[in-house]
Structure 1
Amino acid sequence: SSSSSSSPTHPRPPSTTELSVRINAVSSGLALEDLTTILPATHLDAIVVPKVNKASDLHFVTDIIRHTLPERRHNPLKILALIESAEAITNLNEICRASPFLSGLIFAAEDFALDLSLTRTPSLTEFLYARSAIATSARAHGLPSTIDLVCTSFRGEEGQRVLREECLQGKGLGFNGKQCIHPSQVEIAQRTFAPGEKEVEWAVRVVAGDEKADIKGRGAWTLDGKMIDVPVVGKAKATVERARLCGMDIDAIREKWKDQEPE
């Protein structure tokens, strides 16, 4: 069972900000046992469901969560769906609408290649359609997470170069994260997918300025001559949160601009 290492009594590791468990596929017949074992864990944030080929795979998991955790409405459990087949790609719209708990899609390139008898190449062009479809569908349905394929290179400078290129390519296709198979990959992936320093500084200024504008009862205001309204503030807050999760020092930027007043 995929859940054998995640007993409900195991505490969350102190260095872990979000804890997810990968269960067996619904089609394996083992998912019910996995879910029954792991769902009592109060420190569990997300369930990764492999081989999601159609909406009914997520309906199954969702129904079990609802029956097992009816009281967990204040902190709903998230579902991350692994997209691994041609069937899944053709059913993306239905999959994205299948569960209110669905938080993101993960592209499993190796299994997808096996399903289509493809050979992975350094350019990754053989995955272009599938990756674009996943990122676009997730965005269309408002899913916050789109996690790109694994980079199999991680050793030495060449491995880091390949990883960086793959991250930039994935970001360019609309993904906002990447699967990592080695600790050495994490920093590069986070740095590449994190918002840029200038973008973060602007966002912090917007959020801080809006807090002051709100106290003064002002709905819209300007910053550096640009109109700041609700949608701009919403995007800025999301950028700041992403930057914080990527380890950027938001408090230091806030301190730098503490005397800024909304215009």
Structure 2
Amino acid sequence: MRMRSLLYVPGSSPRFLEKAHERGADAIIIDLEDAVAANEKDAARAALGRSVAMVGRGGAQIIVRINTHDVPAMLADAAAACEAGAQALYIPKVSSPDVLHRLDAHLRPLEEAANRQAMRFAPLIEDPAGLLNAASIAAGPRVFALSAGGEDLATSMGAQPTPEVLRVPKLMIHYAAKAAGVLSFGLLRSTADYADRQALAAAIAEAKDFGFDGATCIHPSVVPLLNEGFSPSPEEIERARRLIDAADQADQAGIGAFTFEGKFVDRPIVTRARALLARAAG
């Protein structure tokens, strides 16, 4: 499953929803939470049946970010997303696995009645409690990815969302995701300033080096940067192929570690090369 780019679209904005499938994002997040005014949330939820079908026309994975500020809204959002056919939920402000278990129990009979596949969960960690519980959250039911809400996380700590402030918390969440074998979304900085393309490209390259799988964005202009930045380059692909050929020849000769293009190569390096080709194959 490849999710390099996840584009947020306000669930209350037909203008943005109608164009979302043209943006090239691997996943589209229909937002019922922060991007929707309080007096429009019910209408945005009611429109999911139409919205999910609309944004999914290009083949992207469809995710719905639900409200978790109160239980009735959360359960109603989850049920509507399920009935509309969304593949996953983006669950904000997750501080413990408890909310995941509650949603899992709520969705099971709805999915059985609709004879549909189980929805997956992407918890969004946005406070210190969630940060310290990241490992147990990652191991919760249906979790396929973790992400950090940088702006809210900084606010909850009384801090500013600078790269220095966010780096360690985001890495902690990233490590929890990797330990659980789920995807990790994010950059080691806030993505609020989407106009600074040079800084974004550098942040994407850094996140790729750390093993992040993709990132969310709020503006469609960022989607191509994410798709390119989180994809192996042609040069990386060609080098990985040459390295694997050399590794296969070494195996046949009964050689473990060997030298390739002037550099020492052992099993972890070969494993990375194979993983890179798998990602390139999509």
TM-score using structure 1 length: 0.72
In the alignment, does 2:175 pair up with 1:132?
A: no
In the alignment, does 2:188 pair up with 1:151?
A: no
1:6 & 1:189 partners in 2: Cα distance? Answer: 26
Aligned to 2:110: 68
Give 2:206's match in structure 1, choosing from 169, 183, 193: 169
In the alignment, does 2:45 pair up with 1:3?
A: yes
Q: Tell me, which stretches of 5 or more residues in structure 1 are unaligned?
A: 210-220, 246-263
State the SS of the aligned residue for 2:217: coil
Q: Tell me, which stretches of 5 or more residues in structure 2 are unaligned?
A: 1-40, 253-267
| Offset of residue 152 of structure 1 | 2.2
Backbone CA RMSD of aligned residues: 3.4
In the alignment, does 2:197 pair up with 1:160?
A: yes
Change in CA separation of 1:14 and 1:232 when aligned onto 2, cut-off 3 Å: farther
Give 2:151's match in structure 1, choosing from 107, 110, 113: 110
Aligned to 1:180: 217
Q: Moved runs in structure 1, 4+ residues, more than 6 A?
A: 71-74, 202-207, 231-237
TM-score using structure 2 length: 0.68
Q: Deviation string for 1:51-87 (max 9, x for gaps)?
A: 1111101111111122221378984321111110001
Aligned to 2:234: 197
Alignment of 1:12-161 (within 5 A): 12=54, 13-25=56-68, 27-42=70-85, 44-70=86-112, 75-99=117-141, 101-121=142-162, 124-148=163-187, 150-155=190-195, 159-161=196-198
Of all paired residues, the percent bearing the same amino acid is 23
Aligned to 2:29: none
| Offset of residue 127 of structure 1 | 1.0
Q: Match for 1:61: what amino acid?
A: L
1:199 & 1:48 partners in 2: Cα distance? Answer: 32
1:190 & 1:166 partners in 2: Cα distance? Answer: 13
Q: How many aligned positions are there?
A: 225
Change in CA separation of 1:243 and 1:72 when aligned onto 2, cut-off 3 Å: farther
State the SS of the aligned residue for 1:170: helix
Change in CA separation of 1:174 and 1:131 when aligned onto 2, cut-off 3 Å: farther
1:109 & 1:86 partners in 2: Cα distance? Answer: 11
Change in CA separation of 1:226 and 1:184 when aligned onto 2, cut-off 3 Å: farther
2:216 & 2:58 partners in 1: Cα distance? Answer: 18
Query: Does the Cα contact within 8 Å between 1:150 and 1:179 map onto a contact in 2?
Result: no
Of structures 1 and 2, the one scoring higher in RCO (CA 8 A, sep 6+) is 2
1:133 & 1:72 partners in 2: Cα distance? Answer: 37
Q: Deviation string for 1:137-194 (max 9, x for gaps)?
A: 1010111343346522233xxx110111221232233322111111111111111111
Q: Deviation string for 1:208-228 (max 9, x for gaps)?
A: x9xxxxxxxxxxx9645457x
1:4 & 1:234 partners in 2: Cα distance? Answer: 47
